[in-house]
């Protein structure tokens, strides 16, 4: 049962092959068994999950219609609000925050019959690429416990890879769904900006954040996206674009698909073993009928500095609300003035990486530096978008490795933030341009002298609101390979 897809669980519950409660108990037992070594979950909602599963079984027994995710266990990244469930963004400053409302995506998942089994660990306020910036401690990669699962949605990726749940939600501001998906050997989809409501997502960078699914197959990612995508009156940035039937788009063929390959950009700084795996994946797609077309993304080399300027500026603004006055953590020292209370609360409540980005963002927005940094970054952001517009005149998707390296060791890059940031070079452009992108497992790095098999991800980026083409390509690749079916042995 633990290896079943979300679709198979839904169908099994609907047919009576097994009950939603049986499914729920099996996955809860798996979580309890693996979480001490993975630290993927910050909260396990066992009683709530069983109660939800029982309600699904009662609906089936009564002959009532069931939703498209009936009985499917789902894990929620801990920066998404679930009513009555502690939501911390892995930060001490929100360590006891319990939201009085559900995020729109959570509301839609539960309306479809999904069973929320818990909240997953992440980098604090989604700021990080290794899941080491968490007040709850780092998450371990199920493929090699001494390695990072990626970030910031590392807990969600680890949970799916370790068969703790067939579906988890993550958020992606600069690669936080796709990079951990690649490191953990699962599927991670960042939808087009505006395709999914951000209502109930604790904001990091509002023009970049997007919520998406993490699964073990493209078909399950399509199923999940069909459930929670679409306009939302509670989010002014959600698009009114119609949501297609993503399942129907997965025809099993890539014949005629034009795949853009920016080789000049990719060849710089990529781990040789990752490049070899990526090349083989492209050849597999070509053998299935796709056409490989060389494209240029001349401004992509500037994407990382542009991203960290824009994202940090928006983080500085968004995180100003955490001041110890209305909610969240407040310093214990009561015999101080308001200004000192603000300073101590934020100093004690935020971790080092969050402080670093707040300070950087405040600096680039300050008088005398705005034009030189933030405004210039926004101008280059426009050029990045134009690069993709130009490429999409010739191709349907753009292919790159998801990450220039496989999962690195925990602690390996924490002393050098710049090296950590440079690992986002292939993912940040999609966020800056608002484009959809997917990471799918495409092989393993197996180095002499290294006993760990470390997954590698293939990233495909598409036109705005064309998730269907990405899912079709991903699903076709899965039909002719078995990388997505492989699981770590914990």
Which residues are identified as catalytic?
77, 152, 176
Q: Read off the DSSP letter of residue 485.
A: G
Q: Would you state the structure tokens that stand for residue 79, as one six-digit string?
A: 């920066």
Q: How much is the pLDDT for 334?
A: 73
Helix axes 467-480, 218-228, angle to 10 degrees: 160
The predicted structure's pLDDT at residue 450: 60
Q: At residue 489, what are phi and psi to the nearest 5 degrees?
A: -100, 100
**Percent of the chain at pLDDT exceeding 90:** 94
Instruction: Please enumerate in sequence order all residues whose Cβ is within 8 A of that of 93, keeping only pairs 6 or more positions apart, or say none.
Output: 322, 328, 329, 345, 346, 349, 350
For the chain, the domains span 1-490
| Percent of the chain whose predicted confidence (pLDDT) is above 70 | 99
- Alpha-carbon distance 169 to 104, whole Å? 12
Tens digit of each residue's pLDDT (9 = 90 or more) over 468-488: 999 999 999 999 999 999 999
Tens of pLDDT along 445-474? 986 556 679 999 999 999 999 999 999 999
Predicted pLDDT at 446: 81
The helix or strand, by DSSP H or E, that contains position 430, with its residue range, turns out to be helix 428-433
Under the banding of pLDDT at 50, 70 and 90, the label for residue 294 is very high
Q: Which residues contact 433 (CB under 8 A, 6 or more apart)?
A: 381, 384, 385, 388
Tens of pLDDT along 158-199? 999 999 999 999 999 999 999 999 999 999 999 999 999 999
Residues pairing with 171 in the sheet: 211
Question: Tens digits of per-residue pLDDT, 309-341?
Answer: 999 999 999 999 999 998 899 999 878 999 999
Report the alpha-carbon distance of residue 386 to residue 64 in Å, rounded: 50
| pLDDT recorded at residue 333 | 82
* 393 DSSP 8-state letter: T
pLDDT in tens, 27-56: 999 999 999 999 999 999 999 999 999 999
**349 is written with which tokens?**
């409540």
Count, residues in the chain = 490
| Position 366 pLDDT exceeds 60 | yes
As to burial, measured by CB atoms within 10 angstroms (0-12 exposed, 13-18 middle, 19+ buried), residue 258 is middle
The pLDDT of residue 418 = 87
How far, in Å, CA of 275 to CA of 106, rounded?
A: 37
Which residues on neighbouring strands pair with residue 213, listed in sequence order? 169
Look at the block and give the residue holding tokens 């910050």.
42
Q: 1-490 belongs to which homologous superfamily?
A: Amidase signature (AS) domain (3.90.1300.10)
In the predicted structure, residue 343 carries a pLDDT above the cut 70: yes
């Amino acid at each position: 049962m633990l290896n079943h897809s979300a679709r198979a669980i839904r169908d099994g519950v609907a047919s009576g092959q097994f009950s939603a409660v049986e499914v729920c108990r099996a996955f809860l037992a798996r979580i309890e068994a693996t979480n001490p070594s993975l630290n993927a979950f910050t909260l396990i909602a066992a009683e709530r999950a069983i109660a939800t599963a029982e309600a699904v079984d009662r609906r089936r027994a009564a002959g009532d219609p069931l939703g498209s995710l009936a009985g499917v266990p789902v894990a929620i990244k801990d920066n998404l609000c679930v009513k009555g469930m502690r939501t911390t963004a892995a930060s001490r400053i929100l360590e006891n925050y319990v939201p009085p409302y559900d995020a729109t995506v959570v509301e839609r998942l539960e309306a479809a019959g999904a069973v929320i089994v818990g909240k997953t660990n992440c980098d604090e306020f989604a700021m990080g690429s290794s899941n080491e910036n968490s007040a709850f401690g780092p998450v371990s990669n199920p493929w090699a416990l001494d390695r990072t699962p990626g970030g910031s949605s590392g807990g969600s990726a680890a949970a799916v890879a370790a068969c703790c749940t067939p579906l988890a939600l993550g958020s992606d501001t600069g690669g936080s769904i796709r990079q951990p998906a690649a490191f953990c050997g699962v599927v991670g989809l960042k939808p087009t900006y505006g395709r999914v409501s951000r209502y109930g997502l604790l904001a990091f960078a509002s023009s970049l954040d997007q919520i998406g699914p993490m699964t073990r197959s493209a078909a399950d990612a399509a199923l999940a996206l069909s459930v929670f995508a679409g306009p939302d009156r509670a989010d002014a940035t959600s698009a009114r674009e119609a949501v297609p039937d993503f399942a129907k788009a997965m025809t099993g063929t890539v014949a005629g698909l034009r795949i853009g390959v920016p080789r000049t950009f990719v060849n710089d700084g990529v781990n040789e073993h990752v490049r070899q795996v990526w090349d083989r994946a492209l050849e597999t797609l070509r053998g299935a009928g796709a056409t490989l077309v060389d494209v240029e993304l001349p401004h992509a080399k500037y994407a990382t500095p542009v991203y960290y300027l824009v994202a940090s500026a928006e983080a500085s603004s968004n995180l100003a609300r955490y001041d110890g006055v209305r909610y969240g953590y407040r310093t214990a020292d009561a015999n101080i003035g308001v200004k000192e209370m603000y300073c101590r609360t934020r100093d004690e409540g935020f971790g080092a990486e969050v402080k670093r980005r707040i300070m950087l963002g405040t600096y680039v927005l300050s008088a005398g530096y705005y034009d030189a940094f933030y405004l210039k970054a926004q101008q280059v952001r426009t050029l990045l978008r134009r690069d993709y517009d130009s490429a999409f005149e010739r191709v349907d998707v753009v292919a790159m490795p998801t990450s220039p390296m496989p999962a690195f060791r925990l602690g390996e890059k924490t002393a050098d933030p710049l090296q950590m940031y440079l690992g986002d070079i292939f993912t940040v452009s999609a966020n800056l341009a608002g484009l959809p992108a997917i990471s799918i497992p495409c092989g393993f790095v197996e180095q002499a002298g290294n006993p760990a098999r470390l997954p590698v991800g293939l990233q495909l980026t598409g036109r705005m609101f064309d998730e269907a083409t990405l899912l079709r390509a991903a699903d076709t690749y899965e039909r002719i390979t078995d990388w997505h079916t492989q699981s770590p042995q914990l």
